[in-house]
Copies of this chain bind each other. A is one copy, B any other.
Amino acid sequence: MNGLSCGTSNIVGVRFAVYPMADNFVEIIKGALKEVDTSKVWVQTDDITTCVRGRSEHVFDVAKAVFIQAAKTGTHVVFNGTFSVGCPGDSEGDTYMSEDDIRLNEEASRQESVEAATHFALYPMDNPDYMQVIADQVKTAEKHGTFTKGVHYASRLDGTANEIFASLEEMFVDASKTKERAHVTMTATISANSPSTKDN
């Protein structure tokens, strides 16, 4: 798919964290990060979350890769993040927008088949038609076969991590094109290897 950055200068970002439910969580997070090539994105980590910014292709590529590399350990791991585009407070000043669209981690991510369950929510800001924008994007997940059902305040997706991130990226990018310089955010809670029984 074409990303948001083709023909525009819209910088995309995600603020996220990956939570391995294990005593050796530091090791799992550091191990995952070592496997991921972040050279096409701006990255800043603090004690709460990590922020990744750049072209939409690379932001989704890196977010997916960090989750998959952590989840492939078999530990119960959850990715929790908010994607954002068009935030009036964001700056286009950082470089990285001139990177090409070749994803650096796609090949490694494709090697792994991690089953994941997701709750996501789309927030198209300053848009009276936002409920329709959300409903339209849910149809994309239905088309992909990842949509399971609506829940209070979110929608549920099931599938492999590769399938789920493909749906999330397409919905986010398409929602961002529904308005000139739209400000859209999307939350996603993506869980792998949970000991709980799947509710789908």
A residues with CB within 8 A of B:
13, 15, 17, 19-23, 25-26, 44, 46-49, 51, 53, 76, 78, 80, 82, 84, 87-90, 117-119, 121, 123, 125-128, 130-131, 150-154, 156, 185, 187, 189, 191, 194-199
Contacts and interface: CB of A to CB of B under 8 A. Distances in A.
Given A19-B21, A25-B76, A90-B152, 12 more contacts: A15-B153, A15-B154, A20-B21, A22-B23, A44-B152, A46-B196, A47-B198, A49-B154, A80-B189, A90-B153, A123-B125, A126-B130
Number of identical protomers: 2
A84 B187 CA distance: 13
A25 B15 contact: no
A150 B118 CA distance: 28
A184 B196 CA distance: 30
A156 B49 CA distance: 11
Nearest to A88: B131
A179 B116 CA distance: 38
Contacts of A49: 119, 154, 189
B84 A17 contact: no
A119 B45 CA distance: 13
A121 B187 CA distance: 11
Contact of A51 (B48, B53, B88, B152): B152
